[in-house]
C-alpha cells in the first residue's frame, strides 16, 4: 500500500484498513510514515498503535517528530510515553524542545526518572553526558564469571545494554570493562579481574559527543565508558547513539557545505518558510561578499569596454576556479572530520593542494586555449589559459587551507563552505584574469 493511500485512509477515517496497514509494517516504516505527515494525521495514526508497539515506534522517531506526536496526546498517554523512554533519548528530546514542553514532560515523570533526566540535562549541549545511558550494570573485580553472569541476570533488565559491563572499585572508580562475550566464553570460576580489559578507552561526560562517537568508530567499540572528572563511572555511550551522532554530524557538514543551516527535522514535513529560513542567512552573507566581484569588475571597467569579448569567459573562468576550490575544500573538511588531517598539517596541505591545483590548471588550460581560440581568437584565449592555471592553483590552495585555519581558530571547519570558497575565488580570479589580459593584450 503506498503512502498516498495511508494519507487517504486517514482522511477517510478507515480504521480497519489503517490497522491492517500498521500490522503489515515494521516499526521503522511506521515511524517514517509518521515523519512525513502533519501533526494531526500523525497523532491519528499513532493512536491506533497498541501500547508496546507505540513505544517501539516512538523510539524510532527523531526528536522534532516525537514532540509533534506527544503534543497531540492526552495527559495519561503523554506521561506513559515519556516515562517509558530511555533517559538519554528523553534528554535529547528535551534539549530540542521549547521550555513549556520541557516543563510538561518533567512534571509528568516519576521522581526517580525526573532526577535522572535532570542530571543528564545538566551536561552542556553537544557533550557526551547528554547522549550516554546511565542505566548500566557495574561489576566488582573479585566476582567470578558465573557470579558476574548471575548479577547481570538479576540487574540487567533495566540496563540499556548488558554487552559491556563496567568494572569498578567500591567507590565506583573506573577500573576497566569486561564484555558479556568474554564472560560467557570464560570458564565459570575465572575471576572478572582476569577478563577485564585495563586499557579500555573512556571519555569524560563533558567531552564532545561527536568526537567520542568517532573514537568509537575508529576503535571499533560497541560501548564507550563515560566517567566524571574523578574517573568515577557515570554511564556508557552506546553504538546506536554513536551512529546517530555521526550521521547527524555528517548531515550537518553536508548542509553547511552548501551554505544551509542544518535542520534536524524530516525534509518532507518542513514548511516552505522553515526551509527558506535555514538558507537565507548564508545567501545574504554571500551576496554581500559577492559585491567584491562588482568592485573588481568596476575597477577593470575600462579594460572590459575596450575588449568586450573578455566578458564572454568570465562565468567559465570563475566557475572552474570555484569548482577546483570546492573540491579541495570538501576534501579538507572531510579529512578533518574523520581525523585524517590535523591543524598542524596546514603547510603540508597547502603545498600539496597548490601542486594539485596547478596540475589540474595546466590540463584545463589546454582545453581553455582551444575553446577560447574557437570563440574569439588566440589573444583572449591565451589570457584565459594562463588565468586558468593560476586560478586553479590558487583556488585549491585556499580551499584546502581555509578549513584548517578555521579549525585552528576554533570555528567549525564546515562553515568554510563551498559557496564561501567559491565567492572568494571569484573575486581573486577576476583580478588575475584582468591583470593577465592587460599584460597579454597590452591594454
* Stretch of residues binding a copy of itself (CB under 8 A), selected from 69-77, 126-134, 351-359, 404-412: 351-359
Supply the minimum distance, in Å, between the C-beta of residue 388 and a copy of itself.
8
> What are the start-end ranges of the H helices in 269-377?
272-299, 301-306, 314-337, 346-375
Supply the minimum distance, in Å, between the C-beta of residue 211 and a copy of itself.
13
Contact between 255 and a copy of itself (CB under 8 A)? yes
SS3 208: strand
Identify whether the C-beta of residue 200 lies closer than 8 Å to the C-beta of residue 166. no
Q: Which residues in the 264-283 window bind a copy of itself by CB under 8 A?
A: 266-268, 272-273, 275-276, 279-280, 282-283
Nearer to a copy of itself, 117 or 422 (CB): 422
Contacting a copy of itself (CB under 8 A), which of 109, 360, 381, 406?
360
Supply the minimum distance, in Å, between the C-beta of residue 174 and a copy of itself.
16
Contact between 258 and a copy of itself (CB under 8 A)? yes
Q: How many residues does the chain have?
A: 443
* CA 81, chain centre distance (Å): 27
- 404 burial level (CB within 10 Å; 0-12, 13-18, 19+): buried
Contacting a copy of itself (CB under 8 A), which of 320, 387, 401, 428?
320
Q: Which residues in the 390-429 window bind a copy of itself by CB under 8 A?
A: 418-419, 422-423, 426
Identify whether the C-beta of residue 136 lies closer than 8 Å to the C-beta of residue 158. no
Q: Which residues in the 54-83 window bind a copy of itself by CB under 8 A?
A: 59-60
Contacting a copy of itself (CB under 8 A), which of 42, 139, 180, 226?
180
Contacting a copy of itself (CB under 8 A), which of 315, 347, 378, 439?
315
**CB burial string 230-249: b at 16+ within 10 A, e below:** eeebbbbbbbebbeebbebb
CA–CA separation, 178 vs 139, rounded Å?
9
Of 395, 343, 358, 388, nearest in space to 370 by CA:
388
Contact between 251 and a copy of itself (CB under 8 A)? yes
* CA 40, chain centre distance (Å): 29
Contacting a copy of itself (CB under 8 A), which of 120, 165, 430, 432?
430
Contacting a copy of itself (CB under 8 A), which of 49, 69, 149, 397?
149
Contact between 189 and a copy of itself (CB under 8 A)? no
- 345 burial level (CB within 10 Å; 0-12, 13-18, 19+): middle
Nearer to a copy of itself, 114 or 438 (CB): 438
CA–CA separation, 118 vs 92, rounded Å?
12
Contacting a copy of itself (CB under 8 A), which of 103, 218, 230, 439?
218
Supply the minimum distance, in Å, between the C-beta of residue 40 and a copy of itself.
18
Q: Which residues in the 285-314 window bind a copy of itself by CB under 8 A?
A: 286-288, 290-291, 293-294, 297-298, 301, 304-305, 308-309, 311-314
Supply the minimum distance, in Å, between the C-beta of residue 208 and a copy of itself.
17
Of 243, 267, 245, 244, nearest in space to 255 by CA:
267
Contacting a copy of itself (CB under 8 A), which of 15, 118, 254, 411?
254
Contact between 319 and a copy of itself (CB under 8 A)? yes
Supply the minimum distance, in Å, between the C-beta of residue 178 and a copy of itself.
13
Contact between 259 and a copy of itself (CB under 8 A)? yes
Q: Which residues in the 81-140 window bind a copy of itself by CB under 8 A?
A: none
Between CA 287 and CA 294, with CA 293 as vertex, the angle to 5 degrees is: 90
Q: CB-based contacts of 81: which residues, under 8 Å, 6+ apart?
A: 54, 55, 58, 70, 73
- 171 burial level (CB within 10 Å; 0-12, 13-18, 19+): exposed
Supply the minimum distance, in Å, between the C-beta of residue 36 and a copy of itself.
8
Amino acid at each position: 500500500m503506498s503512502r498516498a493511500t495511508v494519507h487517504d485512509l486517514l482522511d477517510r477515517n478507515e480504521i480497519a484498513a489503517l490497522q491492517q496497514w500498521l500490522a503489515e509494517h515494521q516499526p521503522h516504516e511506521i515511524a517514517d510514515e509518521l515523519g512525513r505527515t502533519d501533526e494531526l494525521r500523525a497523532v491519528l495514526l499513532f493512536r491506533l498503535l497498541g501500547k508496546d508497539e507505540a513505544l517501539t515506534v516512538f523510539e524510532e522517531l527523531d526528536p522534532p517528530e516525537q514532540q509533534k506526536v506527544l503534543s497531540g496526546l492526552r495527559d495519561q498517554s503523554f506521561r506513559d510515553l515519556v516515562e517509558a523512554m530511555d533517559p538519554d533519548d528523553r534528554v535529547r528530546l528535551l534539549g530540542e524542545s521549547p521550555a513549556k514542553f520541557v516543563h510538561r514532560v518533567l512534571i509528568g515523570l516519576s521522581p526517580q526518572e525526573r532526577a535522572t533526566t535532570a542530571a543528564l540535562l545538566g551536561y552542556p549541549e553537544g557533550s557526551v553526558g547528554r547522549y550516554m545511558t546511565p542505566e548500566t550494570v557495574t561489576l566488582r573485580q573479585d566476582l567470578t564469571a558465573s557470579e558476574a553472569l548471575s548479577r547481570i541476570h538479576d540487574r540487567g533488565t533495566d540496563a540499556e545494554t548488558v554487552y559491556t559491563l563496567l568494572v569498578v572499585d567500591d567507590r565506583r572508580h573506573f577500573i576497566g570493562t569486561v564484555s558479556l562475550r568474554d564472560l560467557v566464553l570464560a570458564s565459570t570460576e575465572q575471576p572478572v579481574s582476569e577478563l577485564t580489559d585495563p586499557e579500555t578507552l573512556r571519555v569524560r561526560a563533558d567531552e564532545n559527543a561527536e568526537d567520542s562517537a568517532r573514537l568509537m568508530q575508529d576503535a571499533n567499540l560497541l560501548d564507550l565508558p563515560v566517567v566524571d572528572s574523578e574517573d568515577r563511572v557515570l554511564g556508557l555511550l552506546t553504538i546506536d547513539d554513536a551512529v546517530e551522532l555521526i550521521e547527524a554530524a555528517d548531515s550537518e557538514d553536508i548542509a553547511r557545505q552548501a551554505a544551509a543551516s542544518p535542520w534536524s527535522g524530516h525534509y518532507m514535513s518542513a514548511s516552505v518558510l522553515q526551509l527558506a529560513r535555514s538558507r537565507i542567512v548564508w545567501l545574504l552573507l554571500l551576496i554581500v561578499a559577492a559585491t567584491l566581484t562588482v568592485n573588481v569588475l568596476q575597477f577593470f571597467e575600462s579594460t572590459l569596454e575596450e575588449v568586450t569579448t573578455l566578458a564572454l569567459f568570465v562565468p567559465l573562468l570563475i566557475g572552474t576556479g570555484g569548482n577546483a576550490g570546492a573540491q579541495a575544500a570538501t576534501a579538507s573538511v572531510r579529512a578533518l572530520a574523520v581525523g585524517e588531517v590535523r591543524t598542524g598539517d596546514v603547510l603540508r596541505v597547502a603545498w600539496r593542494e597548490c601542486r594539485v591545483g596547478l596540475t589540474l590548471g595546466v590540463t584545463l588550460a589546454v582545453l581553455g586555449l582551444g575553446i577560447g581560440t574557437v570563440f574569439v581568437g588566440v589573444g583572449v584565449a591565451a589570457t584565459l589559459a594562463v588565468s586558468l592555471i593560476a586560478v586553479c592553483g590558487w583556488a585549491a590552495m585556499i580551499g584546502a587551507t581555509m578549513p584548517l585555519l578555521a579549525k585552528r581558530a576554533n570555528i567549525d571547519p564546515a562553515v568554510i563552505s563551498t559557496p564561501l570558497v567559491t565567492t572568494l575565488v571569484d573575486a581573486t580570479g577576476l583580478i588575475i584574469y584582468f591583470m593577465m589580459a592587460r599584460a597579454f593584450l597590452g591594454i
